[in-house]
Amino acid sequence: MQMNEVERIAQAAANAAQDKKATDVVVMNVHTLTPMADFFVVCSANSRPQVEAVARAIRDELHDLGVNCKGVEGMDEARWVLLDFGDIVVHVFRPEDREFYHIERLWGEADVYSVGESST
């Protein structure tokens, strides 16, 4: 998949999160920092039902775009749900867990932009 296409899909995931009222939605371009993924999408949701709804909405949206989820972690606790789409990894956090793990700080060299912005 071309980088522009991967970025477009990451943005679609971010938009799906925002549509379910996730907050502080950011897309992180990590392709030069790790072989794990090209983009991280990070967002917060305030309750267990909202975390689950955001994760489902993202998975459904990307499925509609032809991108299948390769794995889901954390849905049982719904405090930090990780969705693995291969080139894109989505993190849906409860606010207190996001603050504790602070993914943005761990990947501080990544280009970070909010929903609706572009890295180019």
- Which residue's structure tokens are 């909405």? 57
What pLDDT is stored for residue 116 in this prediction?
53
What pLDDT is stored for residue 114 in this prediction?
80
DSSP the chain: --HHHHHHHHHHHHHHHHHTT-EEEEEEE-TTT-SS-SEEEEEE-SSHHHHHHHHHHHHHHHHHTT----EEESTTTTSEEEEE-SSEEEEEE-HHHHHHH-HHHHTTTSEEEETT----
Residues of the chain with pLDDT under 70: 1, 116-120
15-37 confidence digits (pLDDT tens): 999 999 999 999 999 999 999 99
pLDDT, mean over the chain: 93
Query: Distance (Å, rounded) from C-alpha 29 to C-alpha 92?
Result: 17
Q: Is 116 left (phi over 0), alpha (psi -120 to 50) or beta?
A: left
